[in-house]
Amino acid sequence: MHEDTIAAIATPLGEGGMSIIRISGGKAIAMANECFRPVGKSSRNPSDASTHTLHYGYITQNGRDIDEVLLAVLRAPRTFTREDTVEITCHGGLLATQSVLKAVLASGARSAEPGEFTRRAFLNGRIDLTQAEAVSDVIHARTDLALAAANEQLAGKLSQRIHQLRQELMHTLAHVEAHIDFPDEDIAPDTMIQLVAQLQNALVFIDGLLATAEEGQILRKGIRAALIGLPNAGKSSLLNQLLGHDRAIVTSTAGTTRDTIEETANIRGIPVVFIDTAGLRESSNEIEAEGIKRSHESIAKAELILHVVDSSQPLTGENQQPLDVSAGKKCIIVANKSDLPTTSDLPGAIKTCCLDGTGIEELKDAIKSAVWSGEIQADMLPVMVNARHHDALRRAREATEKSLATLQECRTLELTAMDLRIAVNAVGEVVGKTSTEDLLDTIFSQFCIGK
């Protein structure tokens, strides 16, 4: 499959000014010859064109012009996939774009699988696995910080640190294996001190990378924050304030929200998925009861709870119910309707008024503080590992710790070497130095077609 020439639409489907069809593979330029009719004195057949040049003409099929296009010829190895590549810019719109793609496929190309262009870039050595994942992170970034972190990883900042760690572990492994080859010679005390120090430094290095996992996951995936409370506490009004626009219907009638509403907002650089839930109370109304059931499901999936209380109403046992269902989760108490006379004393609560926005900025600060430890520093962005990296590094740490223990206990060096090989392989998984076809299938299947 990796020797096939592939093609796909590289821009989102739908109406727009233009679309791009990408072709990559050994026969990409020859196939472009089959379906491209150059127009004008300076335009020429793709096979006669110099690399990284743009040509005007028409895509044709069965002798009929399909669309007026610009065709870019990009010759290997200076392309994204390090293969010959052709990119066709045609008019946007479903029919025009699909018609151009069909003409390209009729010329002999195969439809690309999800993520197949990026996979080829990895397999051809242009990028490593962390950079390939960063391509997807760039596409799906929802805040400036998430985009900055993805671009740092795409530039290879994380890769550099992983390669450094792997090289140091391999250097230590080479020393150990050298002594295995000469069993009659004991390791000199100075050398032993040096090997122990190298393994201890590796553990500190790994711990530093592992410490970024939670923040990295937050930037990539965001967090889910459920707004809960009694009916008419002002949850929907608060959601609208946090989003900066009217998303939920707001009325003075209690129980307006019957279903959960989800919307993402940028809160101090962190993508937060807010879930407006139905008011938690006992209800005989079948529709409202279903909404309350969904509220409980949303609370179970949320990482953060915003318990909204109407501060103008006296506290009752009902107000305790939302706290009971959110037990064990990070929770912020929001004393809403602070413009009205207060009858409830809620220590530590954030006071808000959705009529004029009072307390909203303070609430945003509290949300960030609840999910992010410390300040978001620029030097943290290049090394925020994802869940896959975390798993590989965790295994590398366990193996490194075992190898350090066997070395310090003067046990057989074969055990030390065995654990070090496990550590080296686990670290190699992060950048793709050691990978399986199943792992690659899992990673690239999550990409969109055309990327």
Which of 8-12, 234-238, 434-438 is modeled with the greatest confidence? 8-12
Q: Is the pLDDT of residue 112 over 50?
A: yes
73 and 147 share one domain: no
180 and 228 share one domain: no
Residue among 303, 146, 296 at smallest CA distance from 224: 303
Distances (CA, A) of 87 to 5, 6, 238: 13, 12, 47
For position 251, what pLDDT does the model report? Answer: 47
Among 66-70, 127-131, 377-381, the minimum mean pLDDT is found in: 377-381
Tokens of 264: 């993402």
Among 8-12, 92-96, 312-316, 366-370, the minimum mean pLDDT is found in: 312-316
333 and 316 share one domain: yes
Count the domains in the chain: 3
Q: Is the pLDDT of residue 77 over 50?
A: yes
What average pLDDT does the segment 26-38 reach? Answer: 95
CATH of the domain at 393: 1.20.120.430
What average pLDDT does the segment 264-271 reach? Answer: 86
For position 255, what pLDDT does the model report? Answer: 47
SS3 334: strand
In a domain, 188, yes or no: yes
Per residue in 376-400, pLDDT (tens digit) is 555 556 667 888 899 999 999 999 9
**Residue with more model confidence, 9 or 370:** 9
284 and 348 share one domain: yes
pLDDT grade for 286, boundaries at 50, 70 and 90: low
**Residue with more model confidence, 416 or 398:** 398
In a domain, 285, yes or no: yes
For the chain, percent of residues with pLDDT exceeding 90: 41
pLDDT grade for 312, boundaries at 50, 70 and 90: confident
CATH of the domain at 94: 3.30.1360.120
Pick the last residue of a domain from 371, 401, 422.
371
pLDDT grade for 359, boundaries at 50, 70 and 90: very high
**Residue with more model confidence, 126 or 379:** 126
Distances (CA, A) of 158 to 2, 155, 168, 426: 27, 8, 16, 15
**Distance, CA of 67 to CA of 36 (rounded, Å):** 10
CATH of the domain at 313: 3.40.50.300
For position 202, what pLDDT does the model report? Answer: 94
Residues 39-58: b if buried by 16+ CB within 10 A, e if exposed: eeeebbbbeebeeeeebebb
In a domain, 378, yes or no: no
What average pLDDT does the segment 333-337 reach? Answer: 90
253 and 306 share one domain: yes
Place of tokens 């179970």: 300
In a domain, 154, yes or no: yes
pLDDT grade for 104, boundaries at 50, 70 and 90: very high
What range defines the domain where residue 331 resides? 221-371
362 and 225 share one domain: yes
In a domain, 119, yes or no: no
266 and 319 share one domain: yes
Neighbours of 326 (CB within 10 A): 21
Among 9-13, 41-45, 321-325, 433-437, the minimum mean pLDDT is found in: 321-325
391 and 367 share one domain: no
Q: Is the pLDDT of residue 170 over 70?
A: yes
85-91 and 64-74 strand pairing: antiparallel
**Distance, CA of 325 to CA of 278 (rounded, Å):** 14
151 and 205 share one domain: yes
